[in-house]
């Protein structure tokens, strides 16, 4: 999306205590625990959470074993559901295990090196931020992460684990110019309810959230007198987490990727081992797009990879540089084929994906991260692409 006119673009994020992100975290925890013992485990784990219970299911083929009840409770405790006042407690909720085995019809295609499913996967990169990501989603993630940080460090001790953020950025000439609106929905306890107006949280708490969260994250130069702030816009957010909303693995796929700035292939990531190209090929697509932009071949790049179940090579590769390419898009595709292995086994090996690294991906985005586990964020192919061009 390159637009020379003025327009607004919005992206959202959620905290690790949001019900959907609880489920993503648990599903990725199962994958990590199995990979600690069995690097060839086949995992497709789904989680559902509601009032007082969490259900873990899916298809898994492995010779290892996980104490699911204990590990789920440890995960919930780490997220922060440690007090009954949050409406959900790690030690008292029911944990239900409904995991089965993977279909042998799928296994016979994957065992030979083929893709674990059909579908299309999208990668994207642009020059809006140091991470080569769209600015709205990066700001939204940083706000959500800051909500968790001020809660865990007791800077704002009245906050609960559940929360959401949303940022609207104004663009001029295709570039971010200012922040139009910031939205925070933060679960909180009774202590910040306005006694004179019980339907509202106190204005003091709102101002603390604005100062300690919003102003601590968003650069001062992006605000102006017309920037709008919405903090718990319904008045209060006392009942949150699984007490107020069900959660499921894979329901935050736009949060997980590019905040809506690029299309999405439709496949969720969490709970899937890397033979599932929904996950591994999406990581590879980001790796390719980021290296193309880092190499200076384009200021903005979207790549689509498409696979068929049981077949190793992608059935198609599409690249769109939105008119910002220094060389034609078809030439960039040629460079991609030369410099990147796109078979599932090649992707797994080049990005080192058979490791217990996936719980970190389950909140605050799979892309634009700087932690060493995020190998698909490296730009180590940029020099080769520059030379080839």
DSSP string covering 134-158 = -HHHHHHHHHHHHHHHHHHTTSSTT
Which helix H or strand E contains 291, and what residues bound it?
helix 277-294
90-115 pLDDT, tens per residue? 999 999 999 987 665 555 556 656 77
Helices (H), 36-125: 68-79, 104-110
Asked whether the domain spanning 119-126+277-388 has the same topology as the one spanning 7-13+135-240, the reply is: yes
| Regions of the chain with pLDDT less than 70 | 1-4, 102-113
Q: Could you give the 3-state DSSP secondary structure of residue 323?
A: coil
> By C-alpha distance, which of 55, 50, 45 is closest to 24?
45
Q: Quote the tokens at residue 387.
A: 């030379």
* pLDDT recorded at residue 168: 98
Top CATH class of 119-126+277-388 equals alpha beta
Tell me the three-class secondary structure of 22-60, residue by residue.
Answer: HHHHHHHHHHHHHHCCCCCCEEEEEEEEECCEEEEEEEE
The arrangement of strands across the sheet holding 159-172 comes to 7-14, 159-172, 175-188, 228-231
Top CATH class of 7-13+135-240 equals alpha beta
Question: Model's pTM, two decimal places?
Answer: 0.94
Domain positions in the chain are 7-13+135-240, 119-126+277-388
Q: What are phi and psi of 147, to 5 degrees?
A: -55, -45
371: number of Cβ within 10 Å = 10
d(CA 354, CA 351): 9
16-64 pLDDT, tens per residue? 999 999 999 999 999 999 999 999 999 999 999 999 999 999 999 998 8
143: number of Cβ within 10 Å = 26
331: number of Cβ within 10 Å = 15
């Amino acid at each position: 999306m390159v637009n020379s006119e003025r327009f607004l673009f919005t992206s959202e994020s959620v905290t690790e205590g949001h019900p959907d992100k609880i489920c993503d975290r648990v599903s990725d925890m199962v994958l990590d625990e199995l990979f600690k013992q069995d690097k060839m485990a086949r995992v497709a784990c789904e989680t559902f959470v509601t009032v007082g219970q969490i259900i873990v299911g899916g298809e898994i083929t492995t010779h290892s074993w996980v104490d699911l009840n204990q590990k789920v409770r440890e995960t919930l405790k780490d997220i922060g559901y440690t007090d009954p006042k949050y409406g959900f407690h790690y030690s008292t909720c029911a944990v239900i295990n409904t995991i089965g085995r993977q279909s042998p019809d799928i296994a016979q295609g994957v065992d030979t090196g083929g893709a674990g499913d059909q579908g299309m996967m999208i990668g994207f990169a642009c020059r809006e931020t140091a991470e080569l990501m769209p600015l709205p989603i990066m700001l939204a993630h940083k706000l959500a992460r800051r909500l968790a940080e001020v809660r865990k460090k007791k800077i704002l001790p009245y906050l609960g684990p559940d929360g959401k953020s949303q940022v609207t950025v104004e663009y001029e000439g295709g570039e971010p110019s200012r922040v139009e609106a910031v939205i925070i929905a933060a679960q909180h306890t009774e202590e910040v309810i306005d006694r004179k107006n019980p339907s509202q949280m106190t204005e003091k708490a709102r101002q603390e959230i604005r100062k300690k969260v919003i102003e601590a994250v968003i650069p001062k130069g992006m605000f102006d007198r017309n920037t709008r702030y919405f903090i718990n816009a319904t008045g209060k957010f006392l009942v949150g987490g699984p007490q107020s909303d069900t959660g499921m693995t894979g329901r935050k796929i736009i949060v997980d990727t590019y905040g809506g700035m690029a299309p999405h292939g439709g496949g969720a990531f969490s709970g899937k081992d890397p033979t599932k190209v929904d996950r591994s090929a999406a990581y590879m697509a980001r790796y390719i797009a980021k290296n193309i932009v880092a190499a200076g071949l384009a200021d903005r790049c979207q790549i689509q990879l498409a696979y068929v179940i049981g077949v190793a090579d992608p059935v198609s590769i599409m690249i769109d540089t939105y008119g910002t390419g220094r060389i034609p898009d078809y030439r960039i595709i040629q460079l991609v084929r030369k410099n990147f292995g796109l078979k599932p086994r090649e992707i797994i090996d080049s990005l080192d994906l058979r490791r217990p690294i996936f719980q970190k991906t389950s909140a605050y985005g799979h892309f634009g991260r700087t932690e060493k586990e995020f190998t698909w964020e490296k730009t180590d192919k940029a020099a080769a692409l520059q030379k080839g061009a």
